[in-house]
């Protein structure tokens, strides 16, 4: 039987030489696998009182939105610098293949919010760490993280606080 892993394609040397890009579009176009993935990313958080799901720009949005609906929570986009139209908190980060800054609207959270952070890939952990710092800066509590794919050999987990972390697929090579 095919597994979630079979729907993630390796694209060598994209977006730059030496990076193996993980293309999740084959998974997204398959309803059953997409649904199975969303259930997997959400289920451990179902009884944790999650009120907001953060999706990280840009493929994180595709996974965070259905997770938010399933969890009965709101969706907060964390976007690349300059894309959000109102006042933001901003955090610099370094990911596997570039440096950038990410923003979140200053009024995206209330102090009682319990937050799940969702992205497609956990590589070095720089991006997810920056999202974590933003949520804290905005005054809410991060309950956990969900990733479609974890590149275990880059040890991104080490950048993140202890606590629930779900990866639908862990790849150590
Ligand atoms: P990092 O900050 O190194 O953990 O990188 C994670 C972020 O960069 C996520 O938002 C991913 O979408 C993207 N990313 C990093 N490495 C890859 C990869 N090999 N394939 C696809 N996306 C990646």
- pLDDT of residue 173 exceeding 80, the answer is no
81/123 Cα distance (integer angstroms): 20
- pLDDT of residue 119 exceeding 80, the answer is yes
- Provide the sign of the torsion angle of the four alpha carbons 135, 139, 140, 144, taken in this order: positive
Catalytic annotation present for 90: no
pLDDT of residue 140: 98
- pLDDT per residue over 21-61, tens digit each? 999 999 999 999 999 999 999 999 999 999 999 999 999 99
CB-based pocket (< 6 A), ligand 1: 19-22, 56, 59-60, 95-96, 119-128, 156
61 alpha carbon – ligand 1 mean position (Å): 14
57/42 Cα distance (integer angstroms): 19
pLDDT of residue 102: 98
With beta carbons less than 8 A apart as the criterion, state whether 128 and 155 touch.
no
pLDDT of residue 2: 80
95 alpha carbon – ligand 1 mean position (Å): 6
Tell me what percent of the residues of the chain surpass a pLDDT of 70. 99
pLDDT of residue 155: 96
- pLDDT of residue 104 exceeding 80, the answer is yes
Span 91-106, average pLDDT: 95
- pLDDT of residue 141 exceeding 90, the answer is yes
- pLDDT of residue 113 exceeding 90, the answer is yes
- Catalytic-labelled residue, pool 79, 86, 96, 150: 96
- Check: pTM over 0.75? Answer yes or no: yes
CA distances from 137 to 86, 116, 159 (A): 16, 15, 17
């Amino acid at each position: 039987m095919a597994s979630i892993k079979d729907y993630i394609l390796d694209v060598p040397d994209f977006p730059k030489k030496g990076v193996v890009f993980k293309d999740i579009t084959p998974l997204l176009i398959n309803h059953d696998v997409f649904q199975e993935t969303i259930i997997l990313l959400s289920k451990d958080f179902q009884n944790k009182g999650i009120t907001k799901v953060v999706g990280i720009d840009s493929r994180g949005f595709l996974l965070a939105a259905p997770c938010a609906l399933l969890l009965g929570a709101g969706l907060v986009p964390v976007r690349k610098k300059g894309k959000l139209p109102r006042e933001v908190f901003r955090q610099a980060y370094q990911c596997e293949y570039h440096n950038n800054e990410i923003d979140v609207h200053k009024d995206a959270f209330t102090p009682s919010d319990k937050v799940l952070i969702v992205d497609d890939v956990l590589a070095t952990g720089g991006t997810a760490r920056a999202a974590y710092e933003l949520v804290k800066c905005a005054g809410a509590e991060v309950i956990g993280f969900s990733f479609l794919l974890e590149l275990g050999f880059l040890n991104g987990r080490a950048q993140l606080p202890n606590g629930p972390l779900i990866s639908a697929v862990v790849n150590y090579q």
